[in-house]
Amino acid sequence: QLQLQESGPGLVKPSETLSLTCTVSGGSISSSSYYWGWIRQPPGKGLEWIGSIYYSGSTYYNPSLKSRVTISVDTSKNQFSLKLSSVTAADTAVYYCASSVAVAGFDIWGQGTMVTVSS
Amino acid sequence: DIQMTQSPSSLSASVGDRVTITCRASQSISSYLNWYQQKPGKAPKLLIYAASSLQSGVPSRFSGSGSGTDFTLTISSLQPEDFATYYCQQSYSTLLFTFGPGTKVDIK
């Protein structure tokens, strides 16, 4: 059974770069079946897709965040990562990693990790 | 960009009620529409994919319909564990996903 787990700092200073890692267990990140994605949810608000990556390294980003986002994959560690630069308080959110079979929805989710942007 | 709207934004219902939630896309998305359930403090759970396909393990009281721009999630007989927020998500634009704003279902 595929499982995902987010990790990274819970507090980031304004203007700095938010960095999170998602560790995949119970399956290979190199599987051609899956896309790996990041989704966030500000407190009390809805879901926002940040971006997705295929094991080959192909990336797809939300246009509204594209200039600040980098998603990468490390097949040797079975992990994929999110970097969001120049953060502000508006980037405070629960960040989820998730897997999707192409366009058939995100079927496996991590538990989420709260990231607060504050000095 | 494809924008998603949902109605209502919230509703109150009783156990056993039939509940219908609507999702509308700003342009045709064929059947590239997924539905999620989220409970407080938990990650979302995929209920329906491709507009009407039930995700494995999801109770059959959940169903989805629609195509083009208008979609519906129906809960045939609301159960206590169904009180949650429901989100639609389009996956028509090649890996450029958009979620709807959500519909909160609470106890009447």
**Which single residue is written with the structure tokens 């109150």?**
B12
CA B46 to chain A, closest CA, distance in angstroms equals 6
The pLDDT confidence band at residue B89, using thresholds 50, 70 and 90, is very high
Can you give the pLDDT at residue A51? 95
Mean of all residue pLDDT scores within chain B: 96
Q: Which of B1, B87, B97 minimises the CB distance to A46?
A: B87
**CB count in 10 Å sphere of residue B9:** 11
Q: Which residue has the tokens 């927020």?
A: B85
Question: For residue A67, how many other CB atoms are within 10 A of its CB?
Answer: 9
| Residue recorded with tokens 């009447």 | B108
Residue B98: what pLDDT? 94
pLDDT at A24: 96
The verdict on a CB contact (< 8 Å) between B96 and A63 is: yes
Chain A residues in contact with B71 (beta carbon < 8 A): none
Terminal-to-terminal C-alpha distance of chain B = 36
Residue of B nearest to A48 (CA): B99
pLDDT of residue B93: 79
- Kindly state the DSSP code that residue B77 receives in the 8-state scheme: S
Count the residues in chain A.
119
Cβ distance B18 to B41 under 8 Å? Answer: no
pLDDT in tens, B12-45: 999 999 999 999 999 999 999 999 999 999 999 9
The token duo for B76 is: 């045939």
Residue A91: closest CA among A61, A117, A55, A67? A117
Asked if the Cβ–Cβ distance from A63 to B100 is below 8 Å, we say no
User: Helix or strand or coil: residue B82?
Assistant: helix
pLDDT in tens, chain A (119 residues): 999 999 999 999 999 999 999 999 999 999 888 999 999 999 999 999 999 998 888 999 999 999 999 999 999 999 999 999 999 999 999 999 999 987 789 999 999 999 999 99
